[in-house]
Amino acid sequence: MFEAPSTAAAIVAGRLSLSEVFTGLSDEDLIAIAGFSREVSYPESEFLLREGQPAEALFVVERGKLALEKKVQPGRHTTPRSATIGYVGPRHVAGFSTLTPPYIYSTSAVCLEPTRVITVDGPGLRAYLQAHPAAGLIVMNSLAALVADRYRQSTNTLTYFLSIVSHELRSPLAAIENYLQTMHGGFAGELNSKQARMIQRCLLRVSDLRVLIGDVVDLARMRPEQIQADFEWFDPSDVGTESIEDVRLAAADKEVQIKVEPPVRFEPIVGARRRMRQVFTNLLNNAIKFSPIGGTVTFRARYEPDQVVFDVEDEGPGIPPDEIPHIFEDFYRASNVGETTGLGLGLSIAKKIVDSHDGQVIVTNLSDWQGRSGTRFTVCIPRNLKTPEMLRREWVTEAAN
């Protein structure tokens, strides 16, 4: 006797058809998928899936609400925190990493209230869609629309947020810093030594804050193509001088000397001038931050046939060797940073800029037989970079031939 699909399966199939990922599938497909799905109830605070775990299942919410969370862990020795990046309500889906390689959950999902879901077996779903291309196409189309929408939402929010943050934070900070500098310069009357010292400390902290905000906004916006679009011929010695001026106050505050070892002769190179200044300023700031009081930071440049090589060396404690591979990660701060301030963005920004220049950043711990320590950051910038104008001329010549 022909056995009709069980009522339970039919009900599940019906519910699946209403979800954002399975709409448009045929009844047979839905019944088949319902065959490797089951309804499960979870209490509040239960985790359905964990970030980084193999994606074994897709979850269609019937009732309740999930929060999607990503781990945020600045540095390896700070407490990890979770950031909520979105919510999943009825008819919506969590865990669609089940359908996209490398099949690893990109977020965690936790129940904000008692939640009832349809759990669809991941490997089963993948196998079914592969065997039924028409169904596969429908599901993948839905998935593509979903992902595109979530991406658009997050970039819209980011862009909006950045443009607000950019002005609303920078503006008052500029006013504060301006007043402090005016007072510090003696333009508002003579200061006693204590006042002068306190104002100088304020200037340093405010300047750090200004750089921090600039960095955060910058990092979110930085794309290699944008940096490359700004490529022009510039003299590295000008940029180096500006960077040294940028960190003069921080160096003076710790009585750190900056020793400059220039090349025999400076020649212009192609690169993004403002961005390279950021690289040197960030490396110098880092070196000063980790220098002992009264220490020396060395800033060196030399020209090789194919590249220009810059070194920034400090006499600080060095970087623990097992942490060296991680120091360029966003927000990473090594375990021995101690009391120093900073968000951990300077190096990650510097690396992104150097990468856009097709260059390299190399880190070396320095130690000698006298027990002195330190770190050297080496930046190599190739000398064959092209400005947009040079590229344009190349294309025009190529097209003509």
Considering the complex, what minimum distance in angstroms separates the CB of residue 252 from another protein? 14
Q: Which candidate, 255, 321, 325, places its Cα nearest to that of 292?
A: 255
Interatomic CA distance for residues 329 and 350, integer angstroms: 11
Considering the complex, what minimum distance in angstroms separates the CB of residue 184 from another protein? 8
**Is residue 212 a contact partner of residue 345, using CB atoms and an 8 Å limit?**
yes
Instruction: Give the interface with another protein as residue ranges (CB under 8 A).
Output: 167, 170-171, 174-179, 181-182, 185, 187-188, 230, 274
Considering the complex, what minimum distance in angstroms separates the CB of residue 246 from another protein? 11
Q: Which candidate, 91, 89, 71, places its Cα nearest to that of 81?
A: 71
Considering the complex, what minimum distance in angstroms separates the CB of residue 282 from another protein? 17
Q: Which residues contact 346 (CB under 8 A, 6 or more apart)?
A: 215, 282, 283, 285, 286
Considering the complex, what minimum distance in angstroms separates the CB of residue 211 from another protein? 12
Residue bearing tokens 């030594």: 193
Q: Which is nearer to another protein, 20 or 177 (CB)?
A: 177
Q: Which is nearer to another protein, 175 or 198 (CB)?
A: 175
Q: Which is nearer to another protein, 166 or 360 (CB)?
A: 166
Considering the complex, what minimum distance in angstroms separates the CB of residue 346 from another protein? 18
Considering the complex, what minimum distance in angstroms separates the CB of residue 206 from another protein? 9
Q: Which is nearer to another protein, 40 or 209 (CB)?
A: 209
Q: Which is nearer to another protein, 169 or 337 (CB)?
A: 169
Interatomic CA distance for residues 139 and 145, integer angstroms: 10
Q: Which is nearer to another protein, 176 or 324 (CB)?
A: 176
Q: Which candidate, 209, 298, 206, 210, places its Cα nearest to that of 251?
A: 298
In degrees and rounded to multiples of 5, residue 292 shows phi and psi of -70, 160
Parallel/antiparallel/unpaired status of strands 81-88 and 66-72? antiparallel
Q: Which candidate, 61, 163, 77, places its Cα nearest to that of 336?
A: 77
Tell me 70's DSSP state. E
Interatomic CA distance for residues 49 and 55, integer angstroms: 8
DSSP 89-128: -TT-EE-GGGGSTT-B-SSEEEESS-EEEEEEEHHHHHHH
Q: Which is nearer to another protein, 2 or 187 (CB)?
A: 187
Considering the complex, what minimum distance in angstroms separates the CB of residue 392 from another protein? 18
Q: Which is nearer to another protein, 115 or 207 (CB)?
A: 207
